[in-house]
Amino acid sequence: MGRGRSAGKRIAGSGASPGRRDNAGGTLPVGFLAGDGFIFPVVLVLLLFLVLLARAKPRENENDKENENEYFPEAIMRPLQLGLNRLRAVTKKPWDAGGGRRKFCRPGAPADDAGGMNNSNLRPRLRLLATGGTIAGAQTSGDGRGYTAGAFSIADLVAAVPQIAALAELTVEQVARIGSQDMNEAVWRQLAGRAQAALDDPGIAGVVITHGTDTMEETGYFLNLVLKTAKPVVLVGAMRPATAISADGPMNLYNAVAVAAAPESAGRGVLVVANDEIHFAREVAKTNTTQVGTFKSPNRGLAGLIHSGRLHYFGPTVRRHTAASEFAPLAAGGLPRVDIVYAHAGMGRELIDAAVSAGARGVVIAGVGDGNMPAAALAACTAAARAGVAVVRSSRTGGGLVERNIEVDDDAAGFVSAEELNPQKARVLLMLGLARTREAGALQELFRVY
């Protein structure tokens, strides 16, 4: 570098000037490596390199090994060949937007990672709370049937649907990692607490919760009653594990984010999104063991439809919920025990007596037909009600109303009718209601209002 620039110039192209001998016996100009002329190419190469680094797409998160391995060599090599003018064109890949080369199945990501969301503040900010379920499930058996729910983290799921980044800015939190058959009051409380904290944040527009489908209707209805908010709250699950052929999780998750991000979703209570449908948490029920169209809202129908992120609402929900609910925000302290007893031909009184002996403060009968039960069971329920245990008559049919005083004299027995609530939802409302009152008339009023 100590040599003058003129020396480099002078030497270049001159066999008589001092220079290094190349292997072929020719002379390389000194300035190329060591003279002043060295500065220009070095600066140029450095500048090129910096421009490339600035333009190269960074890894979106720890899991993005595919992009990491392919992008940098391409970003560096192509512009060197084609020139800076073409850099923009050659560094874009179709799957940047489409995600077609990603899989919905990479376990082991950090649970608290935002999964590659970027930071444009033009999009609504949503909190995504994860609890596990089949949407996060990984197949375990060779034939593809067996699987473990909740095997993937929420970061895995979000990273697998990069299109979500266009809808909302997400922050994610892994609240639990269970199959929803293991959902219980402790997790409900934790979930409600985390959701309420997010909803109370003025910077958060809504909450999405990933959840197993088995008990989603119970969690959804519980949150519908205990969250104090008008912001959108959306539960989403899947019937096929994340590793399955034609997994339904990615589209369901995308649609759930779209629903939560939409201002028109506000004030509708907690919603459930699956299979291109939007359901009110109060109405929805799981009706099929394995099929993707499992969710139905048998009495009042769908809240709306969603197709690839585009929403179509049919109408508002009719019963009290969320911001207007007397159970919101959720009070501290445990809820009373409520058991469900399934009625059938030939049913005796034993299971009802057993529930009362076990300490149930309420019993919901999944009655035959219009909330009916055999005489022996009816006698046990009447005795329980006299002893101060709340008895709610619901139906195992999956649809319709259980009204008061049709074939059973509810007034005389001191029973409550569940109206449209199926047994599992009647249990949720009864638990919350019993935390406030044991009086049958007051409890019946809750079933009329909620």
Q: What gap in Å lies between CA 131 and CA 207, rounded to an integer?
A: 13
Of 63, 68, 60, 5, which is closest to residue 31 (Cα–Cα)?
A: 5
Q: What gap in Å lies between CA 56 and CA 397, rounded to an integer?
A: 59
Site string for ligand ASP, 116-135 (x = CB under 6 A): -----------------xx-
Q: Which two tokens stand for residue 111?
A: 């649970």
Q: Which of 105, 130, 149, 168 binds ligand ASP (CB under 6 A)?
A: 149
Measured from the CB atom, the residue of 19 and 250 that comes closer to ligand ASP is: 250
Q: Which window, 26-34, 207-215, 366-374, 421-429, contacts ligand ASP (CB under 6 A)?
A: 207-215
Q: Which window, 32-40, 45-53, 83-91, 177-185, contacts ligand ASP (CB under 6 A)?
A: 177-185
Residue type, 408: V
The nearest distance, CB 179 to ligand ASP, in angstroms, is 4
The nearest distance, CB 255 to ligand ASP, in angstroms, is 16
What's CA 349's distance to the chain center, in Å? 41
Measured from the CB atom, the residue of 211 and 268 that comes closer to ligand ASP is: 211
Q: Which of 116, 179, 414, 433 binds ligand ASP (CB under 6 A)?
A: 179
H/E element, 21: strand 19-21
Of 279, 258, 277, 256, which is closest to residue 269 (Cα–Cα)?
A: 279
Q: Is 134 a catalytic residue?
A: yes
For the chain, the straight-line distance linking the first and the last C-alpha, in angstroms and rounded, comes to: 83
Which residue's CB atom is positioned nearest to ligand ASP? 212
Q: Which window, 39-47, 206-214, 361-369, 394-402, contacts ligand ASP (CB under 6 A)?
A: 206-214
Q: Give the count of residues interacting with ligand ASP (CB under 6 A).
A: 11
The nearest distance, CB 211 to ligand ASP, in angstroms, is 7
Q: What gap in Å lies between CA 32 and CA 195, rounded to an integer?
A: 64
For residue 125, what are the contacts with CB-CB under 8 A and spacing of at least 6?
Answer: 168, 169, 170, 171, 203, 204, 205
Positions in 180-199 near ligand ASP (CB under 6 A) = 180-181
The nearest distance, CB 392 to ligand ASP, in angstroms, is 24
Map tokens 């979703």 to a residue: 265
Measured from the CB atom, the residue of 17 and 190 that comes closer to ligand ASP is: 190
By the rule CB under 6 A, 155 interacts with ligand ASP: no
Q: What gap in Å lies between CA 396 and CA 414, rounded to an integer?
A: 21
Catalytic residue among 27, 91, 131, 134: 134
By the rule CB under 6 A, 157 interacts with ligand ASP: no
Q: Which of 124, 212, 249, 269 binds ligand ASP (CB under 6 A)?
A: 212
Measured from the CB atom, the residue of 140 and 181 that comes closer to ligand ASP is: 181
The nearest distance, CB 213 to ligand ASP, in angstroms, is 3
362-367 and 338-342 beta bridge pairing: parallel
The nearest distance, CB 250 to ligand ASP, in angstroms, is 15
Residue 210's CB is within 10 A of a number of other CB atoms, namely 31
Site string for ligand ASP, 322-361 (x = CB under 6 A): ----------------------------------------
Residue 160's CB is within 10 A of a number of other CB atoms, namely 22
Q: Quick one: CA torsion of 36, 41, 47, 49, rounded to 10 degrees? A: -130
Beta bridge partners of 172: 128
Q: What gap in Å lies between CA 368 and CA 117, rounded to an integer?
A: 50
Measured from the CB atom, the residue of 29 and 249 that comes closer to ligand ASP is: 249
Positions in 213-272 near ligand ASP (CB under 6 A) = 213-214, 237, 239
By the rule CB under 6 A, 91 interacts with ligand ASP: no
**Residue 412, CB-side half-sphere exposure with 13 Å CA sphere:** 7
Measured from the CB atom, the residue of 171 and 213 that comes closer to ligand ASP is: 213
Measured from the CB atom, the residue of 134 and 325 that comes closer to ligand ASP is: 134
DSSP per position, 358-419: TT-SEEEEEEBTTTB--HHHHHHHHHHHHTT-EEEEEESSSSS-B-TTSSS-HHHHT-EE-B
By annotation, the residues acting in catalysis are: 134
- Residues in contact with ligand ASP by CB under 6 A are 133-134, 149, 179-181, 212-214, 237, 239
